[in-house]
Amino acid sequence: MSTDTSDAQPLTSQFDELQQRFNKTPYLAVNKRIAVLKTLRARIIEREQQLVDAVSKDFGYRTAFDTLLGDILPTVQTLAHIIKKLPKWAKPSNRSVGLSLWPSKVSVNYQPKGVVGIIAPWNYPIQLALVPVLTAIAAGNKVMLKLSEFTPHTNAVIEQIFKDDMQAHCKIIQGGSDVATQFSSLPFAHILFTGSTSVGKLVMASASRNLTPVTLELGGKSPVIITQNADIKKAAQALLFGKMANAGQICVAPDYVFVPKALEHQLIQQLCELYKKHFKDGVEGKNLTSIISDAHYKRLSSYLEQAQALGANIIKPLDQNQQDAEKHRMGLHLVTQVTDEMNLMQDELFGPILPIMSYETLDSAIDYIKANHHPLALYILGQDKEAQDYIMKQTLSGTVAVNDTLVQVTADDVPFGGVGHSGMGHYHGVEGFLTFSHAKNTLVSGSFNPRIGLLLKQSKLIIKLLKWLYIK
């Protein structure tokens, strides 16, 4: 089905069609939701190679490893988890009624909200599009999915996944920023947006006109703190994986590093040695994903040029094959002697550039992090349990990982989301189901209910009883 608004059904018509379908069946049975999810799971697995090839075309070149590990595996794993847990999640939750409402019973019933809008980014065009959609469908909703205009080949495969009968549950929308603006102005029951903080503000403003609740999965500068007693080789391994996966184009990628001053040289040496070992061919290697577009490549290059002009030291692990402007490929660049006036210390990097700052005291590193917006992720590398606990209690971040990077996002049974400028709301796990559900307070009274008759009398005895209930 073609969904470019120039020749397709208008967005409002597609929304109205899904809304009518939802109104006809406002509570799809859980077993039917599971059947839909199983069909989608089979279609995703069936098109695994098509998805790998399509994403690589969209990026100019993307490793199969990055697509399998970061896109397809977490999507299929999430589906399996949802299918297993959904019957339990969807059950009413019985709550305590208290003496004042005895003998009635109260519970929370989880009801689908309606038509949900999902706006997906380009950096993980499968996982970050499909996981929210699958979660919203699991909660019983209909979905409109706006895909990124930067991933047309991937979008074509996703359209095939949702073809025919699946269009009754999810409609795929394509187009540029003008379509995205129209999309976010629709009267959805809920909107989930993944992308930059600046665009997230626009989505939230547009949604507010319809009083549409939003979940914003944004980003920002995710810091790393290496503690005094860290195993520097292991820390460098975790850093290199976190920075080079998908060429650093990840919302939770390590953005900058704090390292004890005495360990700075050792860290840089280890990062360079590991890079030479695992990425020895640099931009000529088959294990290095390209930057998504020429514009993003130029943005990253400008960060390096400006930083160097302002006195930063740029360290390239390889003597050659560090950059390829024509193919917009870039290898690891370590940057020391950075200052806050440099753009690479102000903007989310979203690429294989890693600023390194040394610290004398742990509190000075923590104070720097606290002086800026709350990050989506915080990483602690080091074996000191006391330092780990101290850092976690002194900082606020969407997620935290200790002695690891990136993979905390793939945990199926815990929520994922930012805080402040890095986002609001959660999805993944049961929290994702709750995000796309209306928790309906439900009170049920039986035939034996003397409370109503007693309250109608408003006698002195009843007033005394009411006072007793709150002063006892």
What is the set of active-site residues?
Answer: 217, 251
Our CA angle for 416, 297, 127, nearest 5°, is 25
According to DSSP, the β-strands at 423-424 and 313-315 are: unpaired
- Please name which of 103, 128, 289, 155 lies closest in space to residue 215, comparing C-alpha atoms: 128
Strand partners, 355: 335
Distance CA 445, CA 455 (A): 15
Distance between CA atoms of residues 247 and 253, nearest Å: 10
Cross-strand pairs, 215:
192
* Alpha carbon distances (Å) from 38 to 138, 227, 437: 11, 45, 21
**What is the DSSP-derived secondary structure letter of residue 416?**
B
CA atoms in the 13 A half-sphere facing the CB of 418? 28
| Distance spanning both ends of the chain, measured CA to CA | 65
Amino acid making up residue 209: R
Question: How many whole angstroms separate alpha carbon 54 and alpha carbon 156?
Answer: 8
> How far is the C-alpha of 330 from the C-alpha of 301, rounded, in Å?
9
Length of the chain: 472
Which run of H or E residues covers position 257?
strand 254-260
Report the interhelical angle of 11-24 vs 177-184 (nearest 10°): 40
Looking at residue 14, its amino acid is Q
